Structure 1
Amino acid sequence: MRLALALLCATAAAPPVLAQQTDADALYDALDLGTVIEVMREEGLDYGEDLGQDLLGGQGGTAWTNLVDGLYDTGRMGDIVRARFTQELSDVDTAPLVEFFKGDLGQRVIRLENEARQALTDEEIEDAAAARVTQMRADDDPRIDLIGTFIEANDLVESNVVGAMNSNYAFYTGLLDGDVVDGGMTEEQALSDVWAQEEAIREDTRDWVYSYLTLAYQPLSDEELNRYIDISRTDAGQAMNQALFDAFDEMYVDLSRRLGEGAARMMASEDI
């Protein structure tokens, strides 16, 4: 191509690409993913505490607490998620999604989702939410079917199962790199062990997702929830959903591997 024509094409092509990238960033902000990551940090700190008891026998002390606190850094977590999320959506017209999630219903949905996720960090609330789902099923409450439709439209169970298994395997690889697993476990054995957890993970995931969404969307009317389902089923909605899973999967795999590596170092140094 002639240089002038090439420059003209580059100039003409630049604005749409930049606009889409800006829309992806705007969508990230409209979804309030920063707040989601803050809740994930709280969940991670709780998980790290439990892991320290189970794997280190509670002997990790301040060193383990500091390691977990440093890993679950919202700045680094957010950088990973935003970069992958915007990259995945760089060729997607996200303007309709930005419009929806910046609108009254979209903002209400995001607020309800964040409040519910925060609430479920309380074990009593989680148990109560699970009990409510059980009762709704016993009563043949049609709302359960609508929640199920939302879950299916967004592939929330299977995608989360895959993400959990990826994270579990990443944790194993971190431990294996430290050569502290009893019996000299190989990567193949670790992978087999992760696959053995699949059904239990799926059951736990299904229960949690139903509890979470039933709690979150309780204030929404069926018409409002159907509007959310409709936009989730669009090509852009499906692309956004996949981008979210890919971005958070990358973040959790990174965290899990680093947790495994940190645990291995401590187990080796303390001879736990």
Structure 2
Amino acid sequence: MTQVLVRFTSLVLVILVALLWGTVPVRAAERERIEAFLATTGFDVALDSIAFASSSAPDMLGIDPGEFGAEWKRLTEEVFDTGEMRELAVTILEQTLSDDALTHAVEFYASALGQRLVEAENASHMIEDDEAKQLEGQAIIAELVKKGSGRVESLKRMNRAIDSDGTALRALQEIQIRFLLAASAAGVIDLQLDADELRALMKQNEAALRGALQLSALAGAAYTYKGFSDAEIEAYADALEQPLMQEVYELLNAVQYEIMADRFEALAVRMAGLQPVQDI
């Protein structure tokens, strides 16, 4: 087990303990400040964008969403209710996010540069056509590479800082595994593999998937921050690399991944009434 998985698992355990027992760490931020924090940093919009991930659910199960008609849209809107997802995030963060980390993040994102960054990030999060965004971002990167621009490395620095422990790959794998197992348990699919076998199968393609995620993140960053100067990108990378900001993003990533996994499991259960059993 790698250090990445250990740290991510530890954060999830902290979240679960906080939810089950209601324990509040010393100087944990109060609810009103957490809600303001979400709005100031744009994490509220990032949570809302989780709903777009529901479009990948049928592909994971080998199902054509067209078979569901309007019921699919209704179902995903109910399961990925933005109000419920925000409420869960607030509940977790008010018991896990320290005052120091909250204050540090809010001070940066409330600045003139910070608010412009949040505006750009919010707009990018709410674009449903991710393919178009990726294509434009890839074109931007290609042009930067052609010019020998140092901006590419700055964008990579930003992405490394946002996911400093590299948890994204393992988290997405676990989300998919939990979804497949939940779908199998609900009778949506006839899954022939157990959890360990699924992990072993994903391990075989891990290197390729990691590379694809890095390229996707780079193209996404190129698109999102295309309106910012090289100096502003450098300043943002510097800010993201600060220890307290690292603490914030480590927790936000864990919260976002846990909410996504929870919603996909709920979706699997609800799909039982819509989809006949299929082999995978």
Could you state the TM-score of these two structures normalised by the residue count of structure 2?
Answer: 0.78
- Partner residue of 1:27? 37
Q: Which residue of 2 aligns with 1:3?
A: none
**1:67 aligned to 2:75?**
yes
Give the counterpart of 1:160 among 168, 173, 181. 168
Q: Which residue of the partner structure matches residue 230 of structure 1?
A: 238
- Which residue identity does 2:56 align to in structure 1? Y
Checking the alignment, whether the CA contact within 8 Å between 2:137 and 2:223 is kept in structure 1 is yes
2:55 pairs, out of 46, 49, 64, with 46
Counterpart in the other structure of 1:210: 218
Identity percentage of aligned residues: 19
Structure 2 contact 175–260 (Cα < 8 Å) conserved: yes
Aligned match of 2:7: none
Q: How does 1:258-269 map to 2 (within 5 A)?
A: 258-268=266-276
* Contact 1:71–1:255 (8 Å) recurs in 2: yes
Question: Size of the alignment, in residue pairs?
Answer: 255
Report if aligned partners of 1:154, 1:238 keep a CA contact under 8 Å in 2: yes
After superposition, the Cα gap between the structure-2 partners of 1:93 and 1:141, relative to the gap in structure 1 and judged at 3 Å, is closer
Q: Answer yes or no: is the 8 Å Cα contact 2:29–2:95 preserved in 1.
A: no
Looking at structure 2, the residues matched to 19 and 170 of structure 1 have their Cα atoms a distance apart, in angstroms, of 31
Distance in structure 2 (CA, Å) of the matches to 1:176 and 1:118? 31
Q: Report which stretch shifted further, 161-170 or 195-204.
A: 195-204
- Give the number of the structure whose residues are more often helix, by fraction: 1
In 2: Cα distance, 1:129 partner to 1:116 partner:
11
SS in 1 for 2:77: helix
Paired residue for 1:247, among 249, 255, 273?
A: 255
Check whether the contact 1:133–1:211 (CA below 8 A) recurs between aligned residues. Answer: yes
- TM-score after normalising by structure 1: 0.80
CA distance in 2, matches of 1:124, 1:102: 30
SS in 2 for 1:249: helix
Alignment of 1:36 onto 2:39: no
The residue matched to 1:255 in structure 2 has which SS?
helix
1:129 aligns with 2:137: yes
In structure 2, list runs of 5 or more residues that go unmatched.
1-25
CA distance in 2, matches of 1:268, 1:174: 15
Contact persistence 2:179–2:265 (CA under 8 A): yes
- 1:13 paired residue number: none
Distance 1:97 1:180 in 2: 42
Question: 3-state DSSP class of the match of 1:185?
Answer: coil
Contact 1:150 1:229 in 2 (8 A): yes
Q: Which amino acid is 1:162 matched to?
A: R
Structure 1 residue 101 corresponds to structure 2 residue 109: yes
Q: Is this contact kept in 2: 1:20–1:94, CA < 8 A? A: no
Hey, what's the Cα distance between the residues in 2 that align with 1:216 and 1:157?
A: 22
Would the aligned equivalents of 2:189 and 2:276 in 1 still touch at CA under 8 Å? no
Residues 136-215 of structure 1 mapped to structure 2, 5 A cutoff: 136-155=144-163, 158-179=166-187, 181-182=189-190, 184-215=192-223
Residues 125 and 226 (structure 1), Cα distance of their counterparts in 2 relative to 1, 3 Å cut: closer
Give the C-alpha shift of residue 256 in structure 1.
Answer: 1.7
Instruction: Determine the C-alpha separation between the residues in 2 that align with 1:212 and 1:196.
Output: 26
Max Rg structure:
1
Q: Secondary structure of 1:218's match?
A: coil
